Amino acid sequence: MEFRKNDIVTLDIEDCGIDGEGIGKADGFTVFVKDAVIGDTVRAKIMKAKKNYGYGRLMEILKPSPYRVEPRCPYARQCGGCQIQALSYEQQLAFKEAKVRGHLERIGGFTEIPMEPIIGMEEPYHYRNKAQFPVGRNKEGRIITGFYAGRTHNIIENRDCALGVSQNKEVLDRVIAYMEKYGVEPYEEATGKGLVRHILIRYGFFTGEVMVCVIANGARLPHSEKLVEALQEIPGMTSITLNVNRSRSNVILGEELKLLWGQTYITDKIGEVSYQISPLSFYQVNPLQTGKLYAKALEYANLHGEETVWDLYCGIGTISLFLAQQAKFVRGVEIVPAAIEDARRNAELNGLQNVEFFVGKAEEVLPREYEKHGVYADVIVVDPPRKGCDEVLLETILKMQPKRVVYVSCDSATLARDLKYLCGKGYELEKVCPVDQFGNTVHVETVALLTKKAR
C-alpha cells in the first residue's frame, strides 16, 4: 500500500529515533512521530511521505506506553528544549545507552563494545545553571519571554522552565516589570527595531551567586539604575551586565560587555576546582553531572603524577585543571582567545602552576608543537564540538603515539567515526561510558578510552 500526505495511520511505536521521535510501521512503511514514545499505540497523520518512510504528527494516543509519564512542564510538546519529557527517566537512560551503542556499531563498526552502565542524574529537572530567554511581544502586544518553539523563532511564553533554576522566574519577572514601567521596547527580528533581545541568567550551584546579562540592540538601557535596584533584591545577585549586540543575525551575544553593577563574573565549582564565569564564557550547563563526567575522564586518563597531558578543545580549562591535579604537566589548546584568558585566570585562582594554554586550532597547534619543539604526550584528552575531531588532528595523535587517548564527546555519531579511524591505525577501544548531562532531552555525553595496541 502506498501512503500519501494527510493519510491517517495507526501505529505501534516500537523504536525511538536519535531525536527522540517514536518509530512505528504501517504495512512495512516506517513512520517517525514526534512526541510518541516506545510502547504507545497511536493515530498519526502523515505530514511528509517518501518512498519507504514518512513523518507523522501525533493525533491521538490510543493506548499509552507503560513508559509514558506526565511531563512536568505544560509546554513540553511545543517547546524545542525538551524532546523526551513524556518518557520515564529509566527509559530515557536506556534510550541514550542504546543510541551510543547503535552509533558505535553502525558508524564505528565495533562489535564487542566494552560499555559501562550510563551515569544518570539523581534529579533530571532544575539542573541547568544557564538559560537564555528571548524577549518579544505576543499577539496581544504584551511583552513576553520564554523559549523558541522547535525549529522556529516563535516564543513559547514560559518564565519557569522545568530544567532551569527557580531564580530564573524571579529575574524575568523583574526585568519585564522594568521594561513595562519605563517603556523599554523588546527587539523585533523582522524590523531590527527595539532594544532588549535576550536575558541571560547564570547561577552558581555551589556558590549561590546569580548573574544577569541583558543583551541589547544598543549601548545603554534607559533608567538602568531602576533595573539594578530591582535585581539587587534577589539573594545571591553578584553580576549585572549589558551585552551590546547590534547585528541583524540570530547570534545571541555581541562582543561588547558593560558592567551595570557588581562584577563581570560569578564563581562556581566542578568537583574541587573553582571557575570564574563571565557572560561570554563557555561553561558546562550541568555542573553536578560534569563533575561525574570529568571524574570518569580522569579515571580513564589513569594519571600517577608523572605524565604530560594535552587537553584539546580545552575551553576555559575545565578539564585541564581537573587533570592538572594529578598530572605532571598539562597543556591546553582552544581557538577562542577569551576562553584562554579565562583558563589562565582559573589556573591562578586554583593555584595550579603545572598548566600552559595555547590559543589556536588544535589541528594546527599540536602538529607545530610536536614537529618544531618535540613536545610529547603520555595522554591526550579531546573534547571537541559536535562535528568531532579534524582529520589532521587525528593524524598528529597517531604520530605522537600517546599511551592513552581519552575522548569526551557530545555527539556519539562523530565519536564513532573518529574512534573507527584511530582504532584502524594502532589503538583499541578499552572502555566507553555514557553520562547523562541533559535529562529530558535526547543529548548524551560519552567518555571513551583508547589504548595503544601492544605490537
Identify the sign of the CA torsion 415, 420, 422, 423. positive
Question: Residue 91: in which H helix or E strand, if any?
Answer: helix 89-106
Distance CA 12, CA 22 (A): 9
Instruction: Determine the distance from the C-alpha atom of residue 50 to the mean position of all C-alpha atoms in its chain, rounded to a whole number.
Output: 32
Contacts of 229 (CB under 8 A, 6+ apart): none
Identify the residue whose cell numbers are 499509552: 64
Between 412-423 and 89-106, two packed helices, what is the crossing angle to 10 degrees?
40
Judge contact between 219 and 241, C-beta under 8 A: no
- Model confidence, pTM: 0.92
In this prediction, residue 18 carries a pLDDT of 82
φ/ψ (deg, to 5) at 365: -65, -45
Q: CA angle 20-21-22, nearest 5°? A: 120
| Whole-angstrom distance, CA of residue 323 vs CA of residue 333 | 14
Per-position pLDDT tens, the chain of length 455? 789 999 999 999 998 888 889 999 999 999 999 999 999 999 999 999 998 999 999 999 999 999 999 999 999 888 878 889 999 999 999 999 999 999 999 999 999 999 999 999 999 999 999 999 999 999 999 999 999 887 788 999 999 999 999 999 999 999 999 999 999 999 999 999 999 999 999 999 999 999 999 999 999 999 999 999 999 999 999 999 999 999 999 899 999 999 999 999 999 999 999 999 999 888 899 999 999 999 999 999 999 999 999 999 999 999 999 999 999 999 999 998 989 999 999 999 999 999 999 999 998 999 899 889 888 899 999 999 999 999 999 999 999 999 999 999 999 999 999 999 999 999 999 999 999 999 999 999 999 999 999 87
pLDDT score for 19:
83
Rounded Cα distance between 148 and 5, Å, is 27
Check if 161 is active-site. no
**Close Cβ partners of 242 (under 8 Å, ≥ 6 residues apart):** 213, 214, 216, 219, 220, 221, 224, 257, 258, 260
Residue-level pLDDT at 17: 87
Reduced to 3 states (helix: H, G, I; strand: E, B; else coil), residue 117 is: coil
Of the residues 79, 314, 410, 433, which is catalytic? Answer: 410
Q: How far is CA 238 from CA 106, 215, 374, in A?
A: 48, 17, 45
Query: Can you list the alpha helix ranges (DSSP code H) found in 212-332?
Result: 224-232, 287-301, 318-324
Q: What's residue 81's pLDDT?
A: 82
- 86, 20 Cβ separation under 8 angstroms: no
Residue (of 428, 417, 440, 445) closest to 99 by Cα position:
445
Task: Supply angle C-alpha 397, 399, 402, rounded to 5.
Answer: 55
